[in-house]
Structure formats: structure tokens, C-alpha cells
Structure 1
Amino acid sequence: MQAAISAQSFLAFLAYFGLGLAVLIAAIAIVTLITPHRDITLIREGNVAAATAFAGSLIGVALPLHAAISHSVSLVDALIWGVVAAVIQVIAYLIARAISGRISSQITEGVSAAGVFSAGVAIAVGLVNAAAMTP
């Protein structure tokens, strides 16, 4: 009887999952470092705007990472496109912050609209970013 999952496929899963998680964490760490407000501190204090914006950033990066991993032909290919996806998301964040002006201070103040706008931009750009990563 053939096993439902082979050792080789499980190791491939672990490799791609680990790579995706590493790129996701690195991208979010960069966003966190360039953000004037302190997302994690604000979230711990119960700031809904910060939590919404941060969740949007996570989803916005994860969407194109999904596409990069799904369409890759190797781990190196997935890594390259994963990094491209993360860079695009960071640039989108910087542009959105420049356009919106006070968004960081509004998130610090707990203005939910600022958090929703930030999350919306991250997710929208993530969707376009993901769609562009087709084979």
C-alpha cells in the first residue's frame, strides 16, 4: 500500500513552509522597523487601529508569498519571488504613508479608519502583487 504522504513530499512542504514563513517574518520586521509607531506595543495596549493595520500588512505580504510559492519551480525561485513580493509590499506601505500624511499618528491615537485604510492598501496591493506572479 502506498503512503498518503511521502517523506520527500513532507520535506518539500517543510522547506517551502519554512521559506515562506522566514520571508513573511522578515518583511513584517522591515515594515515594523520603518513604521514610526510601535505596532506590537500598541496592539498589546489594545489599539484596534494598530491591530487592523498590522493584520492587513500580514495578509498583504502573505498573498503574494502564496503565489510565489505556488508558482515556483524551486526553493530558490520561491525565495527570489518571495523577496520581490515583500519589497513591493514595503514600497506600497511607504507610498501609502507618504500620501496619507498622518496615518501613523492616527493609528497611534487609535483612529480605526486609519487602521482600516492601511490594511486595505496592504491587502489590495498584495492581491495585485499575487496576480502578477503567474507562470
Structure 2
Amino acid sequence: MLPELSTLPAFAAYFGFGVCFLALFCTVHIWLTPQRELELIRHGNQAAAISLVGALLGFAAPLASAMAHSVSMLDLAVWGVVALVVQWLAHVAMRLLIHDLAAQIESDNRAVAVLAAGVAVAVGVVNAAAMTS
């Protein structure tokens, strides 16, 4: 017996939108940060990879929550933008807390990268939970 495929178009739309939003977030994040994460990662900088993955996971959590709870694509878009802004504010807070964050990432300081990634993920999880209220 075949599974019910009537919701496949909605799945495809939400999944596609989610992937596009992840790409948008990654592009904006890389564009707005002073360090060049992809170039650093290509040269083996683990701190850049840790920091970027933390930011992506911190964004993906509220995006997934928005996808699960939105009532329309417009609703999802609005909450996706909210998730993006909140994650960017978390990054700004880290830059205020660690004034030389970019230099620390560039010098492959993994301790700083883990802290930045942890803050991004924690803020993302709290943001995701707040979206369900």
C-alpha cells in the first residue's frame, strides 16, 4: 500500500523554502561578519567552521519551529525573518562580549568558536521555543 501523497506539494514548498532560507541566512551571515569564514574553512581553520555551524544550527532550530507551526508561507516567511534577525543579534552580542571575535576566529581559537557556537545554538533553541507560544 502506498503512503498518502496528497501533502507532498506542501512538503516540497516548505522544504524548498526552508533550504532557501538556510542559504539566505548563510549568505547574509558570511557577508556581515568581518572574517571570511569559507576561505578560512578552506584553509583548515576549525574555529571558523565551528562558529559557522553553530550559527547555522542556531538559525535552523527556530526556522524548523516556524515551519512546524506556521499557517501559511507568508507566516513562515515572517517568522523566518524574525529568526534571522534574532540570530544576527546574538552574533552582535558575542562581538560586544568578545571585542576581537573576528581576530580570534581568524587565529583559529577554537575555545572562542565553541563559545560563539554555543551561544548561537542556545539563543536559537530559546527562539524556537518562544515561537510556539
Q: Any gaps of 5 or more consecutive residues in structure 2?
A: none
| Aligned-partner residue type, residue 35 of structure 1 | T
- Of 7, 32, 35, the residue aligned with 1:34 is 32
TM-score (norm 2): 0.95
CA distance in 1, matches of 2:113, 2:47: 4
- Cα distance in 2 for residues equivalent to 1:28 and 1:97: 18
Give the aligned partner of residue 5 of structure 1. Answer: 4
Give me the identity figure in percent: 44
Written as runs of structure 1 = structure 2, the 5 A alignment for 1:1-135 is: 3-6=2-5, 8-135=6-133
**What displacement does 1:79 show?**
1.2
The residue identity in structure 1 corresponding to 2:32 is I
Q: Distance in 2 between matches of 1:125 and 1:29?
A: 20
SS in 2 for 1:110: coil
Q: Normalising by structure 1, report the TM-score.
A: 0.93
Q: Is this contact kept in 2: 1:89–1:126, CA < 8 A?
A: yes
Contact 1:53 1:118 in 2 (8 A): yes
SS in 2 for 1:36: coil
2:69 corresponds to which letter in structure 1?
Answer: H
Query: Once the 2 structures are TM-superposed, how far is the Cα of residue 87 of structure 1 from its aligned partner?
Result: 1.0
Q: Structure 1: how far apart are the matches of 2:50 and 2:67?
A: 26
Q: How many residues were matched structurally? A: 133
Q: Could you report, residue by residue, the CA deviation over 1:35-62 in whole angstroms, capped at 9, with x for unpaired residues?
A: 1110000111111101100110110000
